[in-house]
Chains A and B, each alone.
Chain A
């Protein structure tokens, strides 16, 4: 069976490294992007099953990326999980309304992240 593809987008390389390690251990195929522009480019290329999207990023923030992804037909099946800061009720609401399927507040534990990903796509 083909591995599920996950695109993780964050401007923190260490976080990316950590996420990459955790997800690969769980059997996902992991792609990385450092900012919004790069995320769109990679998503177009690899057609991920799920995108982990940080809200605060340079060159197109998470909301904007999410909006554009939702406008592209070939990415219609892609699930999006937003990474937001803690306790930002309004951001959560905005993210979900702009096309995100789920959100995870930072800092997150590996277990929580994996549970939410598993709920959307099985590895």
Chain B
């Protein structure tokens, strides 16, 4: 509806011109045919009547000549004839001539062309002579000697040029043509005006449509022509009406959505304002889009907004880059996207917190969320070292005083009885022990206060080593490690990788790039040792190693030895024979499980405040009403499991389970359940090849007996959905039996059977085929989370097609699934 007024104008002109041309054409073409044939008919009639008249004249002249010749002498008669011919020729428009049958002029004006003889020797002829057309009436003349009936050899002709004959007719025709042209012009003008009458309603409709499209959706076209054009106008009005309604609906929804968004924003603002932790939200490019007041205070950003500043400019750049890179990689792999971070600032503050990836509406990486607090700031619990220090004089004075008095007594009374002396010595030992105990506590507090609390997290030593090797490409190293899965180590990943990188750079420098380095990871005497073996000349002094400086961007440099010890590690070198050296870094294996992480992958006690759907009241649907509830109003949990194999009844177990919630017809990306599960048995290689979950990954994961109740809790009253649900349900039921818990009895829908029913006759109902048909991209196929998400999307797609099959309630959907199950079963028998 965006054509311009000019275009409309030319369109109208074009239409009008075409209508006039067609009308005139319709009238003019038969008229022209008729007039042309009339012209020729009259032309011929005029010729023949004039010819007849000329013939009659010739007869009369011939008769007169014969009468005269009967009464006079032949010579006289010939003379008389000649005279009368001359007279006639003078008087009449034509010239009379006498000629012989051989075409010889006998009498009459000379130069008159002799006509050819008509048939039977009389009548009229049209002929051409000397380039002109003539009409002649011919009559035979009887010779005076033979007056009776005999064969005549002389003829009389009255000749006229045909131009003279048609002169009158032609002038009349010209007048008629002029009149006709005038009439035609008049008709054209009339037609032009008449088409205007047809066009006006069309223009009216166009103008109306224009108003509707541009200005006013409630405008209606007023047209009373009583014909199809009025119908057209009505149709337009109807369309405008529908458009108006849709628009109004849309506007209402936009308004509602805006309101909801505003509410969410207000809630977010409130949550952020009142949070005791600093919060920084960034976009996907890690540029700040929001800082809460606490973050401003901690970062001394009180007077500048800090908005739009890259995270790496606010916090130590290398650390930010390290963690953001990890998060992006984990996001790609569909893993947990929370990093524990520690940021030492140049002003002495030490920030500790978590950096996590924030999913967007479409499940994409929308940004990052950093929540942190300043460890150096006095917390509510106070500084334990200071507390201990304050308490210490009181605690130490007692034992010291007692010990001194005991010693003095012993020195003074050397003659003391042996048993008394023993008692004194025992008391002294007791006081020494007490003293040692209190000093020990003091030392602990001091160590804790002096050594910044690096947030050590269980990490995979191999991944850390790989990361370091990738950062120093100049060292041609390969990793050799034991086949058995390595235990996790408890380190602060960034500084540990920085330490490894520092060692590798040193090796690079001291070997001048010559000689191969072999990196080995091994568990020796319960210690995880990373060692770099250098074969060939090595100019490095082991004494240097400790003092090497690690200086990441935006941080104070720290010696390598100190960095390693802050990670509770040790570092040393040893010579292996004459020409080989080894630099070794040892760490204790992680004994504790990941802290504070619940089975669904989120930190416990931390609200998911970026999904405010959680604030909205959950619609309560009674179980008995559940079956009659429209499908769109129900809540669903779409889930998927990965297992050690497909033989559930022969001992295959769940290794991973994920669930996605669908509420109000939308996938709730933040309301998910995801965990690895320790199956309590080895995972066969062929299964690892499918889901890439290996034994060491589930070593620290909770068992299904712990996960199952959590999943049941997550599912709540929601309808369960799975692709090929029979398998996943069986896996759940077996887990329930093992945990000694009742089976989950929520209604279950199966996307496999829904697909059978809806895409009847189509081949392929696997999750892959279904996803391809519906244009769904599965991110992380054969990861339980990826499959659950894809199944959820497929389910929403299938659900939109169900009303077309008369399926609107849960009961209908269950029937629909069962029918297709039965059908499949029956056909499979043949």
Decide if A64 touches B543 in the complex (CB within 8 Å).
yes
Decide if A63 touches B572 in the complex (CB within 8 Å).
yes
Q: Is A67 an interface residue (CB 8 A)?
A: yes
Known contacts A64-B543, A67-B542, A89-B527; is-contact A94 B588 (Cβ 8 Å) = no
Closest chain A residue, CB of each to CB of B571:
A94
Q: Is B525 an interface residue (CB 8 A)?
A: yes
- Selected from A63, A67, A93, the residue in CB contact (under 8 A) with B586 is A93
Q: List the B side residues contacting A91 at CB < 8 Å.
A: 570
Q: How far is the CB of A56 from chain B (nearest CB, A)?
A: 12
Closest chain B residue, CB of each to CB of A93:
B527
Q: How far is the CB of B295 from chain A (nearest CB, A)?
A: 38
Q: List the A side residues contacting B765 at CB < 8 Å.
A: none
Contact with B along A67-109 (1 / 0, CB 8 A): 1000000000000000000000111011001100000000000
Decide if B586 touches A94 in the complex (CB within 8 Å).
yes
Decide if A89 touches B526 in the complex (CB within 8 Å).
yes
User: DSSP class of A's interface residues: helix, strand, loop or mixed?
Assistant: helix
Contact with B along A5-42 (1 / 0, CB 8 A): 00000000000000000000000000000000000000
The listed residue with most A CB atoms (<10 A of its CB), out of B526, B570, B584, is B570
A97 CA to B588 CA in the complex, in Å? 16
A85 CA to B527 CA in the complex, in Å? 17
Contact with A along B568-606 (1 / 0, CB 8 A): 111010100000000010111000000000000000000
A64 CA to B646 CA in the complex, in Å? 58
Decide if B526 touches A97 in the complex (CB within 8 Å).
no
Q: List the A side residues contacting B625 at CB < 8 Å.
A: none
Q: List the A side residues contacting B584 at CB < 8 Å.
A: 94, 97
Q: List the A side residues contacting B763 at CB < 8 Å.
A: none
Interface members, chain B 537-554 (any A CB < 8 Å): 542-543
Q: Is B524 an interface residue (CB 8 A)?
A: yes
A99 CA to B542 CA in the complex, in Å? 14
Decide if B572 touches A98 in the complex (CB within 8 Å).
yes
A94 CA to B585 CA in the complex, in Å? 9
- Selected from B525, B527, B543, B574, the residue in CB contact (under 8 A) with A98 is B574
A89 CA to B574 CA in the complex, in Å? 18
Decide if A90 touches B570 in the complex (CB within 8 Å).
yes
Q: List the B side residues contacting A63 at CB < 8 Å.
A: 572
User: DSSP class of B's interface residues: helix, strand, loop or mixed?
Assistant: strand
Contact with A along B489-500 (1 / 0, CB 8 A): 000000000000
Known contacts A89-B526, A89-B527; is-contact A94 B542 (Cβ 8 Å) = no
- Selected from B526, B568, B570, B587, the residue in CB contact (under 8 A) with A94 is B570
Decide if B524 touches A90 in the complex (CB within 8 Å).
no
Q: List the A side residues contacting B572 at CB < 8 Å.
A: 63, 94, 97-98
Q: List the B side residues contacting A97 at CB < 8 Å.
A: 572, 574, 584
Q: List the A side residues contacting B588 at CB < 8 Å.
A: 89-90
Q: How far is the CB of A112 from chain B (nearest CB, A)?
A: 17
Q: List the B side residues contacting A89 at CB < 8 Å.
A: 525-527, 588
A45 CA to B10 CA in the complex, in Å? 117
Contact with A along B518-543 (1 / 0, CB 8 A): 00000011110100000000000011
Known contacts A64-B543, A67-B542; is-contact A90 B574 (Cβ 8 Å) = no
Q: List the A side residues contacting B569 at CB < 8 Å.
A: 90
- Selected from B542, B543, B586, the residue in CB contact (under 8 A) with A90 is B586
A97 CA to B543 CA in the complex, in Å? 16
Contact with A along B183-216 (1 / 0, CB 8 A): 0000000000000000000000000000000000
Contact with A along B688-706 (1 / 0, CB 8 A): 0000000000000000000
Closest chain A residue, CB of each to CB of B574:
A97
A94 CA to B564 CA in the complex, in Å? 13
Closest chain A residue, CB of each to CB of B526:
A89
A91 CA to B588 CA in the complex, in Å? 11
Decide if B524 touches A93 in the complex (CB within 8 Å).
yes
A97 CA to B574 CA in the complex, in Å? 7
Closest chain B residue, CB of each to CB of A98:
B572
Q: List the A side residues contacting B524 at CB < 8 Å.
A: 93
A64 CA to B586 CA in the complex, in Å? 17
A63 CA to B561 CA in the complex, in Å? 13
A89 CA to B525 CA in the complex, in Å? 9
A64 CA to B544 CA in the complex, in Å? 12
Q: How far is the CB of B546 from chain A (nearest CB, A)?
A: 9
A91 CA to B543 CA in the complex, in Å? 17
Q: List the B side residues contacting A90 at CB < 8 Å.
A: 527, 568-570, 586-588
Q: How far is the CB of B407 from chain A (nearest CB, A)?
A: 13
Q: List the B side residues contacting A64 at CB < 8 Å.
A: 543
Decide if A93 touches B574 in the complex (CB within 8 Å).
no
A63 CA to B584 CA in the complex, in Å? 14
A4 CA to B588 CA in the complex, in Å? 38
Interface members, chain B 591-648 (any A CB < 8 Å): none
The listed residue with most B CB atoms (<10 A of its CB), out of A90, A91, A97, A98, is A90
Q: Please give me the 7 A-B residue pairs with the lowest Cβ-Cβ distance, nearest first.
A: A90-B570, A94-B570, A94-B572, A90-B586, A93-B527, A97-B574, A98-B572
Additional pairs, 20, CB under 8 Å, beyond known A90-B570, A93-B525, A97-B574 = A63-B572, A89-B525, A89-B526, A89-B527, A90-B527, A90-B568, A90-B586, A90-B587, A90-B588, A93-B524, A93-B527, A93-B529, A93-B570, A93-B586, A94-B572, A94-B586, A97-B572, A97-B584, A98-B572, A98-B574
A-B contact pairs, 17 of them (CB 8 A): A64-B543, A89-B525, A89-B526, A89-B588, A90-B570, A90-B586, A93-B524, A93-B525, A93-B527, A93-B570, A94-B570, A94-B572, A94-B586, A97-B572, A97-B574, A97-B584, A98-B574
Query: Interface residues, chain B, CB within 8 Å of chain A?
Result: 524-527, 529, 542-543, 568-570, 572, 574, 584, 586-588
